[in-house]
Homo-oligomer: A and B are copies of this chain.
Amino acid sequence: MNELKPKRGVAIIGIGITKFGEHWNLGLKELAVQAGTKAVEDAGISGEDIQLVVGGNMSSGLFTGQEHEAGLLADYLGLNPIPAIRTEGACSSGGLAMRVGCLAVASGMYNFVAVGGVEKMTDVYGPQATTALSGAMDYETEAYFGATFPGIYALIARRHMHEYGTTRKQLSLIAVKNHRNALHNPYAQYRKKITIGDVEKSMMVADPLRLLDCSPITDGAATVILAPADLARKYTDTPIYVRASAQASDTLSLFSRRSITTLDATVYAAKEAYRQARLSPKDIDFAEVHDCFTIAEICAYEDLGFTEKGKGGKLIEEGETEMGGKIPVNASGGLKAKGHPVGATGIAQIVEIVKQLKGEAEKRQVKNAELGLAHNVGGSGATATVHILSRDR
């Protein structure tokens, strides 16, 4: 990876998020406008101060027939003629938007950048959501032959169980934890406590993954307002600083990888993020990780360096990633229970970390939250982004 440094530091001065769930009466633009206006208000600026919009969205084309999503956002947010750029990297589209926003501020070309993510996945006009999501795979080598994401992650889960002795119970504990955390998140899609028994009795989707191992189909949007670190204190007493913005790639096809139980894109992105922030995994106080399936959270523990390879299952079983554990993970409820509007997820993770760092997470507040990490994955790991945020510059 490169040894280069940003020319300017970047801070977050405002956040906004919609309720995640099934919004049968809200479309792409209504969701994005709701989150966007909240963020602008939170930043204490006016829409006219915004100089660039970056909008993460995976598949509004396949879901709703609407491409040109960032232009749509600028339009309905009343921000014309300011420029708007859509980023897409499957379920990491939000993480990519955050990265482009950071590049834009660091470049010196823009001071105030609204970075949003939005996805409208229910009430779609086209193919079923699972078919659209298959676009994140290598279409010619995977989707064309009928692979779906639950199937792909089931392969990862089965192999992880085989190689490292990861258990059914450990998978279930991820879902139980994330549902428990979401009880205290008013924006979460599912605020319903579940037990290990509930997970293990839920419908089989792709062996060994059951319904309650899977994140849901969700509508939602989230926005953050970025500003140069040097200017941030003019707008808020509690700016949150971006200490690292990193990304890496891997093959789209699972079969092309050196190991299907390691998401190399996460490994490389994390390494680069720790380098940028001059930190190591043990410095991180809490994290929002990409638990699109329960097995994905276990892999993330390992690939982000929170534990050794193969010991992710043990980490959850020992309670280390629970609230009050060594490193609470997915205090928000994660993709599993907060919901997973794919293009919005990366920004929603940033929103949660900002709330935690500002001490505004109410009943799900992580204690002594000084350094938070956001981990967003596209597809089965062809793209991963890692951001590290902090109250200190």
Chain A residues in the interface with B (C-beta under 8 A): 1-2, 4-8, 27, 29, 51, 53, 58-62, 64-72, 74-75, 79-90, 96, 99-100, 102-104, 106-111, 132, 134-140, 143-144, 246-253, 256, 264-265, 268-269, 378-379, 382-383
Known contacts A61-B59, A61-B61, A96-B85; is-contact A71 B103 (Cβ 8 Å): no
Distance between A67 CB and nearest chain B CB, rounded to angstroms? 3
For A83, the chain B residues whose CB sits under 8 A away are 99, 246-249, 269, 383
Distance between A117 CB and nearest chain B CB, rounded to angstroms? 14
Known contacts A61-B59, A82-B249, A382-B75; is-contact A103 B99 (Cβ 8 Å): no
For A107, the chain B residues whose CB sits under 8 A away are 6-8, 102-104, 106-108
Distance between A384 CB and nearest chain B CB, rounded to angstroms? 9
CA distance A111 to B3 in the complex (A): 10
Q: Quick check: B84 and A86 within 8 Å, CB to CB? A: no
Q: Quick check: B67 and A135 within 8 Å, CB to CB? A: yes
A-B contact pairs, 11 of them (CB 8 A): A2-B51, A4-B110, A61-B62, A65-B135, A66-B138, A67-B136, A71-B249, A71-B378, A71-B382, A85-B89, A106-B109
Q: Quick check: A4 and B89 within 8 Å, CB to CB? A: no
CA distance A247 to B85 in the complex (A): 9
Known contacts A72-B138, A107-B107; is-contact A249 B62 (Cβ 8 Å): no
Q: Quick check: A89 and B108 within 8 Å, CB to CB? A: no
Q: Quick check: B2 and A268 within 8 Å, CB to CB? A: no
For A256, the chain B residues whose CB sits under 8 A away are 75
Q: Quick check: A87 and B85 within 8 Å, CB to CB? A: yes
Q: Quick check: A138 and B75 within 8 Å, CB to CB? A: yes
Q: Quick check: A59 and B51 within 8 Å, CB to CB? A: no
For A140, the chain B residues whose CB sits under 8 A away are 27, 29, 66
CA distance A85 to B99 in the complex (A): 9
Distance between A330 CB and nearest chain B CB, rounded to angstroms? 24
Which residue on chain B has the smallest CB distance to residue A99?
B85
Q: Which of B80, B108, B109 is A249 in contact with, Cβ under 8 Å?
A: B80
Q: Quick check: B4 and A7 within 8 Å, CB to CB? A: no
Which residue on chain B has the smallest CB distance to residue A264?
B81
CA distance A53 to B104 in the complex (A): 16
CA distance A110 to B245 in the complex (A): 12
Q: Quick check: B5 and A108 within 8 Å, CB to CB? A: yes
CA distance A75 to B137 in the complex (A): 12
For A61, the chain B residues whose CB sits under 8 A away are 59, 61-62, 132, 135
